[in-house]
Amino acid sequence: MPQDDLTLFCMIFAEKAANKIAYALGYCSVTLILVMLVSFYPSFSIQTFYVPPLDGKFMMNQTTLLTSDADSLIFFNLELQNTMWYKGVLYGPVNLTFSYAAANASAVPIATYRVTGFYQGKGKTARRRDVAVATGAVGWQEATMSALSSGSTADFRVDLDTKVKFKNYLWYTRKHRIVSHGIVKVGDSGRKVGEKPVKLTNSALSSTTLMGNIFGIGSLVLLWLYAIGEKCRECYRRYN
């Protein structure tokens, strides 16, 4: 091949390669920007739940240090999962409220607990295993024991209230409040019924977050439909 032809071939090849690379980088950049507009709340669930006073086999030595509080302890294991692989989550204090949810009656708060705020990386899962001490409410133990003795379960409501910020690589979004709740059914062993975790139902996304999700996802779909359409037209022109 003559030198001039080889040079021309290399120039044409380099130009086409540069165009394709620029095209791909452009689509990737726009895709990344649109993905940053999409946010989803973390997922919360109660993995384990144990109320010693409701355990039929529970016996506490009166000489132990836990004597005064043993009949009012609630052991729990809370899982916090960031379902987004592209964003971190910065939690403010996570406030938990444990209530006895009597049948056909409003829930009676019996204990509170606060998880210190923390940062959670992309796609990470955190667990907080601890003990809450029931205070203030009167008669909840008798009510739960009565429910268990009748062959039913004792229902406890867990409420979660926190504020989070989403981290988009170099910056944080504004605060978003999350309110979640779930019902934990406890049997006569004092433990949560069943092995499946109890998922806490999140409040609805804020209007701004919801609109951002709609715009981001809609734009992504249109962008890639356009890219596929352009590729199909290019192939059609090439072979026809």
pLDDT of residue 220: 55
pLDDT at 28 over 60: no
- Domain assignment of residue 123, yes or no: yes
Give the separation between CA 72 and CA 66, rounded to whole angstroms.
10
Tell me whether residue 7 is exposed, middle or buried, using C-beta atoms within 10 angstroms of its C-beta: 0 to 12, 13 to 18, 19 or more.
exposed
Give the separation between CA 131 and CA 60, rounded to whole angstroms.
16
27 with 66, same domain: the answer is no
Query: What average pLDDT score do residues 162-167 get?
Result: 92
Tokens representing residue 87 in the block: 């964003």
- Domain assignment of residue 200, yes or no: yes
Least confident range of 83-87, 205-209, 232-236: 205-209
> 203 or 197: whose pLDDT is higher?
197
- Sequence-distant (≥ 6) Cβ neighbours of residue 20 within 8 angstroms: none
- Domain assignment of residue 209, yes or no: no
**Bridge partners, residue 8, by sequence:** none
pLDDT of residue 89: 95
31 with 138, same domain: the answer is no
Give how many domains the chain has, as a whole number. Answer: 2
pLDDT at 143 over 50: yes
- Domain assignment of residue 64, yes or no: yes
pLDDT band at 39 (very low <50, low <70, confident <90, very high): confident
111 with 219, same domain: the answer is no
What residue numbers bound the domain in which 17 lies? 3-36+215-239
Q: pLDDT per residue over 101-126, tens digit each?
A: 776 667 788 899 999 999 999 999 99
135 with 219, same domain: the answer is no
177 with 137, same domain: the answer is yes
Residue whose entry in the numeric block shows the structure tokens 């409420």: 159
134 with 49, same domain: the answer is yes
pLDDT of residue 70: 61
- Domain assignment of residue 210, yes or no: no
Least confident range of 11-15, 38-42, 73-77, 130-134: 11-15
Longest dimension (CA), the chain: 100
71 with 189, same domain: the answer is yes
Coil/strand/helix, residue 66: coil
- Domain assignment of residue 105, yes or no: yes
